[in-house]
Structure 1
């Protein structure tokens, strides 16, 4: 992680250390601004060489909705997985709410994703993210994400038999 006039920035090597997504589903190219435990701003550059464009659609390529949501959540989880005590932990969706698609994203577009962490308690992260192409809103959603290794510490234990 490197300091860039205050907030932290992450290159692809740092991102790979913090979270567990790998090719072909690692979608964030870099984090340009990060305030651990609060917010992150990620960048994804879409080129025609992306694996999904030939099938979505060869006559009018555009980024599928699930890929847009995944870019949002990958930026969101870095708001807490960047912290040393959570680095590299697995995450699971609990819920995705209030999804809004506001524009088509096509090859050549650069997506800027702004994510914020509202709370992180007992292995449950709550927050949201929104994306932009040239300052024009593209997609937004709210997330609840679990970190099983932390969450399991708070599950009730089965009573012992006598």
Structure 2
């Protein structure tokens, strides 16, 4: 059996615990400006992952949030955690990138503890709480320099992608 480039990338994620932005884009349908993960630093099967978002003043969200006092929107921190979980689910379910899609369903217990500003590197720690059939529940904790800046529990549904999606 010959290995494809995709097989080698999957193996690298399992062994090295790392996926660059190109692999992230293979796993997720998101693109600029809504792709909020620059890489995945650690991934443990479909149990947990750590995504990385480098926050820069060039991010388009800072034009209006807030002029003269840029703060990364909290809702985008939650979205970045959800994208990290989505990549985890797709990778953990036999790497069905392009054949599966993950939909964000619910959010609970969201707390925003500290502003995130340009120059910060967000660590997006997600861990699976449970999954039943196509519904997965996660806990997300966002950190900057080891300090918790946001956290939330959320649910997502994984399903087969339809043609044209």
Fold match by TM threshold 0.5: yes
User: Does residue 1:38 correspond to 2:47, yes or no?
Assistant: yes
What does residue 96 of structure 2 align with? Answer: 86
Identify unmatched segments of 5+ residues in structure 1. 151-162
Question: Does the C-alpha gap of structure 1 residues 70 and 13 become closer, same or farther in structure 2, counting only changes over 3 Å?
Answer: same
What does residue 29 of structure 1 align with? Answer: 38
How does 1:6-155 map onto structure 2 within 5 Å? 6-83=15-92, 84-88=94-98, 89-149=100-160
Deviations 1:49-103 (A, max 9, x none): 0001011011100001111111111111222111335323222122111001010
Question: Does the C-alpha gap of structure 1 residues 7 and 39 become closer, same or farther in structure 2, counting only changes over 3 Å?
Answer: farther
Identify unmatched segments of 5+ residues in structure 2. 1-8
- Other structure's SS at 1:148 match: strand
- Number of residue pairs matched? 150
Deviates more, 1:67-76 or 1:83-92: 83-92
Segments of 4+ moved more than 3 angstroms: 2-7
- Other structure's SS at 2:58 match: coil
Is the 2:49–2:125 contact (alpha carbons within 8 Å) kept by the matching residues of 1? yes
TM-score (norm 2): 0.84
Question: Does the C-alpha gap of structure 1 residues 86 and 12 become closer, same or farther in structure 2, counting only changes over 3 Å?
Answer: same
Report the Cα offset of residue 7 of structure 1.
4.8
RMSD: 1.8
Which has the greater radius of gyration? 1
Is the 1:79–1:117 contact (alpha carbons within 8 Å) kept by the matching residues of 2? no
